[in-house]
Amino acid sequence: MKNRHIPIYFILFALPFTLYCQSEEMVLTADRAVELALQNSLTVGTEELNLVIKERLRNTWWNVLYPRVTAGASLSRLHEQTSSIDYLIPSSEVFPGTYDYVTPISVDIPHTFMLGTSLNASLMLSAQMIYGIRQVYIDYDSGVLSLETARKKLERDVRKSFYNLLLLNENVKLLIKNMGTAKTRYDISTANYKAGLVDEYTMLAAQVGFENMKPALEELKNGYTSALLAFKMSIGIPFDQPVTLSGTIDPEMIELDTQKLVASFLHNRLDIQTLQNTITLLENVKELSVSSLYPMLTLMLSYDPYFAKDPFAYNWFEDMSNDWHQRSGMFSVGISISLDAFLPFSRTQTDIANAQTNIDKTRLALRQATQGAEMEIRTLILKLKKSRDSLKILQLNLSLAEKANSMGQQAYKAGLKDYSQIESTELELQKAQFEILKEKFNYATGLLDLAYALNANMEKIKEVSHE
């Protein structure tokens, strides 16, 4: 009886450890978050499946050379008695020793069931097959570009969301730190008030300043929680999974050479490559229409042996040379060409003209996209340079704000100034601290946008800029 309780004890013993494992905190770096997002993204998964289909079509292009083969059998019975059916067979089979020429003979067919079979094979060879095969390869290249675009866009967005969470978290920490300072000041003013060193207004002003920070802190925490939930959804982890972010917003300041970057990476952009691939696709569509003007070769092979006896009364395979007869089986080679396609304003000619128009339109779109891409790259680099210069100024402002606030705090503790006199210095310090965090975030996310716009990693960008 005791042994029956062992599984229950085991479950009760293991349950706390199971719950602990389920609630174990996950430490996320930016790289780990990107890895999870790529694994769990539905968009990337769809593109991967699309590429699997296109790859399969590319790897099996040669199946267009398979002939079309059909086989059939029929069992029929005439409503009325037929005395005979004429067959055309070689005369050597009727009169041995004669030359092979086709001789009509008659075979008596009783009023019974008749068994017929057929086997047909045909293969059409045309210039369109060549461009159809090429189309499969172009579609595969398009699938590769679509998958790469989805992956890199997801990576950029996840990293930007990660940095945004770090910014929100640092902002929360900064406000908590400032609340600690405000609480200390409130405690000092309370003690000074009780000691008769300051008036009640000074103590209440310090208390109001401290209490006013609480709603702002709750709002920041709610904003962080909402952003974290959206981030969890984007990387595919449960909403209730505890997460700790490991990382800092401390981007490397790099020198960027606009001319070199534009010259080296402009045509390597994913959107530019996609448009170039579209032009190749449209050119192949045009050639596909043009190829319909070329002759088409058709190879055909057919067999239609017919059992001349009652299929229910005789063995089908007993005397196959005499019981089975060929009606019209043959091998043929034919060549054909579409004449109406050469007529002006025919469907084919219209398709060719429309294909060329679509090519011209896409080339114009490519030129426009290239100009827009260059402007985007130049704008991103200008913003990065502006952020780098702004950080230098903000660092100086922070030093001045820290010095002013330190002097004000010392004067406040000494009773030389009241809270209203030092409140502005504290606000300026908070603003300077946050502005530096925000500008670092702007620079870090700007680098991500630039890397995506150039379709290159930061090592390659630095290498080209310093050549």
Residue 103 falls inside a structural domain: yes
Burial class (CB in 10 A: 0-12, 13-18, 19+), 321: exposed
63 in the same domain as 76 = no
Which pair of structure tokens corresponds to residue 108?
């008596």
Amino acid, res. 314 = Y
Give the C-alpha separation, 453 to 462, whole Å: 15
92 in the same domain as 39 = no
* Residue 3: per-residue pLDDT: 45
Residue 4 falls inside a structural domain: no
Residue 166 falls inside a structural domain: yes
73 in the same domain as 39 = no
178 in the same domain as 162 = yes
What does the pLDDT look like over 126-141, one tens digit per residue? Answer: 998 999 999 999 999 9
CATH number at residue 350: 1.20.1600.10
**DSSP annotation string for 159-172:** HHHHHHHHHHHHHH
134 in the same domain as 91 = no
* Residue 233: per-residue pLDDT: 94
Residue 16 falls inside a structural domain: no
Low-confidence residues of the chain: pLDDT under 50: 1-22, 94-95, 98-101
Asked whether 443 and 388 are in contact (CB, 8 A), the reply is yes
80 in the same domain as 40 = no
Where does a domain end: 336, 352, 367? 336
Angle at 252 between CA 397 and CA 268, to 5 degrees: 130
Residue 2 falls inside a structural domain: no
282 in the same domain as 268 = yes
173 in the same domain as 33 = yes
418 in the same domain as 325 = no
Residue 9 falls inside a structural domain: no
* Residue 426: per-residue pLDDT: 67
Give the C-alpha separation, 217 to 395, whole Å: 25
Place of tokens 């499946």: 49
Where does a domain end: 336, 351, 368? 336
**DSSP annotation string for 231-287:** HHHHHT--TT--EEE-----PPP----HHHHHHHHGGGSHHHHHHHHHHHHHHHHHH
301 in the same domain as 175 = no
What does the pLDDT look like over 185-225, one tens digit per residue? Answer: 788 888 888 888 778 887 888 888 888 888 988 998 999 99
Give the C-alpha separation, 241 to 461, whole Å: 37
* Residue 107: per-residue pLDDT: 52
Give the C-alpha separation, 122 to 69, whole Å: 7
Which pair of structure tokens corresponds to residue 64?
């267009």
Residue 403 falls inside a structural domain: yes
Q: Give, in order, the Cα–Cα distances in Å from 453 to each of 373, 381, 442, 456.
A: 8, 11, 16, 8
141 in the same domain as 208 = yes
Comparing CA positions, the residue from 300, 297, 332 lying closest to residue 122 is 300
Where does a domain end: 336, 367, 395? 336
132 in the same domain as 118 = no
Q: Based on the structure, what is the number of domains in the chain?
A: 2
Full residue range of the structural domain in which residue 232 is found:
26-68+127-294+340-465
Element (H, E) at 90: strand 82-90
Residue 17 falls inside a structural domain: no
Comparing CA positions, the residue from 350, 348, 332 lying closest to residue 340 is 348
* Residue 19: per-residue pLDDT: 40
Angle at 306 between CA 300 and CA 307, to 5 degrees: 155
Comparing CA positions, the residue from 269, 354, 288, 274 lying closest to residue 136 is 288
